[in-house]
Chains A and B, each alone.
Chain A
Amino acid sequence: MKKPIYLDNAATTAARPEVIEAMLPYFGELYGNPSTVYSLGASSKQAEENARGIIAGTLGTDPKNIYFTAGGSESDNWAIKATAEAYATKGKHIITSKIEHHAVLHTCEYLEKQGYEVTYLDVDENGTIRLEELEAAIRPDTVLITIMYANNEIGTIQPVAEIGRIAKAHGVLFHTDAVQAYGQVPIDVDAQNIDMLSASGHKLNGPKGIGFLYIRKGLKLRSFIHGGAQERKRRAGTENVPGIVGMGKAAEIAAKTMQERTDTERALRDHLIGRVLAEIPYARLNGHPQNRLPNNANFCFRFIEGESLLMLLDMAGICGSSGSACTSGSLDPSHVLLAIGLPHEIAHGSLRLTLSHETTKEEIDYTVDQLKMIVEKLRSMSPLYEDFVKHGK
């Protein structure tokens, strides 16, 4: 199979060769369990602590505050459920937004069934929460604000530092799902008053099956996975040493290359958006025009449906996404696109293209050329387009 043009880097990324190279010894000759006393185990322990140190450095915090997990969803589950449990005597109210990832939304829905109350904040047409609504939603029994750093579908970046300030002023804990943002934008957990932060390895050219939760020192969060004394007794289970090493390497490269890489991606992404909006009629950009992840473009094309679009793009060798991959099993359009106020029939025609450091201008130009033909083909067979042309509706 010819190498596809991969524009679905928000779904997952290819691990960098340096990452794979760093991981390999820990599958083979350096297989020791980090919890053991002999030197084979000690080398695993050392590699793990090295990765922890790198990651802590990227967030401006102490390595002791980084807890490795199996990924973003586990980190979100842990942060939200453990906070709810630990602070239940203070109150049972949580604030989140309508555009969170399902790892947060479904965890909140689970807690609602356990007697917790959840406020789901609306977002504006760009997908940004309104700070005054957040502040007004805080009650004496509010224990947690969980708002994502940047949205996985439309790329909108939330005013995280302001949210942190509001949370701190009201004595409420603040968790952010930074799965899409980590490695793409600079984060400082102290300056931004972030109490907990979730991240995942495979979104930043690291391996799958590894992530971490940052927990501010002093928070009385209990263990989520019970068992051995790993991760300072807060997350049991023999560590995924190759994964941890790979995530550390990926985080190191992501931090080192951030400025240059995101400048290049942003320029290419803006070229993509510019061409699509100029050359394809009845197209719109979803998400904030400026405050968005540097590699994210999300469009709606009226009168056509997203899955057909993705299938024809795939035939042209282009990988994209319509809504989030997790949404594709359901028949409803994305909750994020509905939350920014799009009607159902327009939300059905969405396309997300997310770039990587390997994306080239030639690939973008080829994609737009193909997209123009595909959108035209699908419109030519769309009864909605026929009605629009004939009756203007």
Chain B
Amino acid sequence: MYSEKVMDHFMNPRNVGEIENASGVGTVGNAKCGDIMRIFLDIDEEGIIRDVKFKTFGCGAAVATSSMATELVKGKSIQEAMQITNKAVMDALDGLPSVKVHCSLLAEEAIHAALWDYATKNGIVIEGLEQPKSDISEHEEDEEY
């Protein structure tokens, strides 16, 4: 069902964890759908992503796309990170089953959400970045179990 690369990133996920006092944190997805991704970014004065960590609740593809997305943005500038699409994440993983494509979208959104948090905290505008639409906190207010 999954490619070898997906299995590798699922079994040995890169950059799992948290960053204390992160420059930006983004959480997307919701537990109802079974996927939540949280990405922590450490961005220096030059706007370079020095470090990145993630935590994910979800299926094998959700873990693998989170892991791959963190690998792709690490060491990149903010503008370079903005260029990383869900397709780039999927390609880097040698593809995903069609029912799991949404996981790669979530990974892209998680990066954007963390960048949005960074931009908001620092009062800057990142070209092409829009407010993330699927932040977990919004869902929690919307849905009562």
Contact = CB atoms under 8 A, between A and B. Distances in A.
Given A331-B34, A348-B31, A386 B58 contact: no
B31 A311 contact: no
A308 B31 contact: no
Nearest to A307: B59
B55 interface: yes
B32 A383 contact: no
Contacts of B75: none
Contact of A383 (B33, B34, B55, B145): B55
Interface string A325-346: 0000101010000000001110
Interface residues of B: mostly helix, strand, loop or mixed? mixed
Nearest to A348: B34
A329 B99 CA distance: 8
Contacts of B27: 383
Contacts of A348: 31, 34
Interface size class of B (residues with CB under 8 A): 20 to 34
A383 B10 contact: no
B38 interface: yes
Given A331-B34, A343-B145, A344-B32, A383 B56 contact: yes
Contact of A382 (B32, B55, B145): B55
Interface string A351-383: 000000000000000000000000000001111
A304 interface: yes
A82 to B, nearest CB: 35
A386 B55 contact: yes
A303 B57 CA distance: 7
A311 B9 CA distance: 13
A315 interface: yes
Interface in B40-97: 54-60, 62-63
Interface of A: 303-305, 307-308, 311-312, 315, 329, 331, 333, 343-345, 348, 380-386
A311 B60 contact: yes
Nearest to A379: B57
8 contacts: A303-B57, A305-B34, A308-B60, A333-B34, A344-B32, A344-B145, A383-B57, A384-B57
B60 A331 contact: no
Contact of A305 (B11, B18, B32, B59): B59
Contacts of A303: 57
A240 B8 CA distance: 44
A384 B99 CA distance: 23
B33 A305 contact: no
Contacts of A305: 34-35, 57-59, 62
B34 A382 contact: no
B132 interface: no
A331 B16 contact: no
B8 to A, nearest CB: 12
